[in-house]
Amino acid sequence: MSVVNNVLISVVIPCYNAEAYIAATIRSVLAQDIDGMELIVVDDGSSDGSVALVRAQFPQVRLVQQANAGVAAARNHGIALARGTWVAFIDADDIWLPGKLRAQFEQMAAIEGCRMSYTAWKVWPCQDPEPGAVYVEQLLAQAGETARWSGPSGWIYTELLLDCVVWTSTVVAQRSLFQEIGGFDPGLRVGEDYDLWLRASRVTPIHRVARPYALYRTHPSSITHSLPTANYRAIVIGRALANWGMYSPDGCEADRGEVRRLLAKSWSDYAGAHLDRGSLATARRAGWAALRTDLRHLPGWKVLIKSYARSLAGTRMGR
């Protein structure tokens, strides 16, 4: 692996009000057995003590601040500052397990032309800053069961059309890849990572390390309860289909029926969210979008009927 200015890899951490967890995240990165690593924390307008904590506890970290602009802009800022040949990402409340970067570099070195790697991961519903030793030992004991942790690897465009199988906090990619295809789209409030992996899958194989090397933390403050303002999944997949269609660069074709059903489900899910909040007009529009995508999509019919029924009930009550 080549090194630029003695920096092999730049690790980018976007941070927004992550005071409770960012120290544990940084420690998990610094514990990686890799020479030539720089760590860039991009604070996205935090109002808590995140910045002061990083400055006080981690003087070796490159800390930059920006006005709040969202996670896509923060990651792009980090990419722009990166000096390494490779760039990795981890969110400010997630955890890397020991050996992650080494395992990815060893695998990529053995695969000619590989410019991007990701690993398996474990969902971790916990509010403790760091995982306990027993938990980590149990997870590592399961790690050798590669069939359990297998997933799409190689030219994965067709698999990505069906699901965002790549998780950002596990990605390592050549910095030149972002110069070629662009960074994260700040215009996408959700799915900015999905959009980028689809673009990357057009120019490079994306290989998976079938061992869990990261913990995806879920906690109450990490879950959004706001009403979605757009069907971002449909936007992202629609862009990909408009640009590249159903075929992967290696000639494989996606299952057209599965893609259609997935898109219809994205619209019925979006419709259902608005129906639950009483936004009946939006629910109806999304319900019709689901049926235009797949006329046989039963959840689309259900949400559409419910939206009209509630509108009719409201009209009668208003008389």
Please give the Cα distance from 151 to 233 (Å, whole number): 21
Q: Which regions of the chain are under pLDDT 50?
A: 4, 319
* pLDDT for position 315: 57
Q: In this structure, are residues 7 and 77 in contact, taking their beta carbons and an 8 Å threshold? A: no
Q: Which helix (H) or strand (E) holds 12?
A: strand 9-15
Q: Which of 21, 20, 32 is nearest to 10 (CA)?
A: 32
Paired with 214 in beta bridges are: 96
Q: In this structure, are residues 291 and 300 in contact, taking their beta carbons and an 8 Å threshold? A: yes
Please give the Cα distance from 237 to 43 (Å, whole number): 30
Tell me which amino acid residue 83 is.
R
Which pairing describes strands 9-15 and 86-89: parallel, antiparallel, or unpaired? parallel
Map residue 285 onto helix, strand or coil.
Answer: helix
Q: Which two tokens stand for residue 72?
A: 């896509």
Q: What angle do CA 116, 263, 124 make, to 5 degrees?
A: 55
* pLDDT for position 228: 86
- Phi, psi of 168, deg, nearest 5: -55, -40
Q: In this structure, are residues 44 and 78 in contact, taking their beta carbons and an 8 Å threshold? A: no
Please give the Cα distance from 202 to 216 (Å, whole number): 26
* pLDDT for position 140: 81
Which pairing describes strands 116-125 and 62-66: parallel, antiparallel, or unpaired? unpaired
* pLDDT for position 225: 58
> If 0-12 CB within 10 Å is exposed, 13-18 middle and 19+ buried, where does residue 2 land?
exposed
Map residue 275 onto helix, strand or coil.
Answer: helix
Please give the Cα distance from 79 to 283 (Å, whole number): 38
Going from the N-terminus, what domains does the chain have, and what CATH number goes with each?
9-222 (3.90.550.10), 232-317 (no CATH)
- Phi, psi of 146, deg, nearest 5: -60, -30
* pLDDT for position 295: 96
Q: Which two tokens stand for residue 300?
A: 């689309």
> 77 Cβ partners below 8 Å, 6+ apart?
42, 64, 66
Q: Can you say whether residue 139 is alpha, beta or left, with left for phi > 0 and alpha for psi between -120 and 50 degrees?
A: alpha
The residue to which tokens 């990261």 are assigned: 214
Please give the Cα distance from 22 to 28 (Å, whole number): 10
Q: What share of the chain is helix, strand, coil (3-state, %, to 5)?
A: 45, 20, 35
* pLDDT for position 142: 82
pTM for this entry: 0.92
* pLDDT for position 227: 83
Q: Which helix (H) or strand (E) holds 121?
A: strand 116-125
The residue to which tokens 């979006």 are assigned: 270
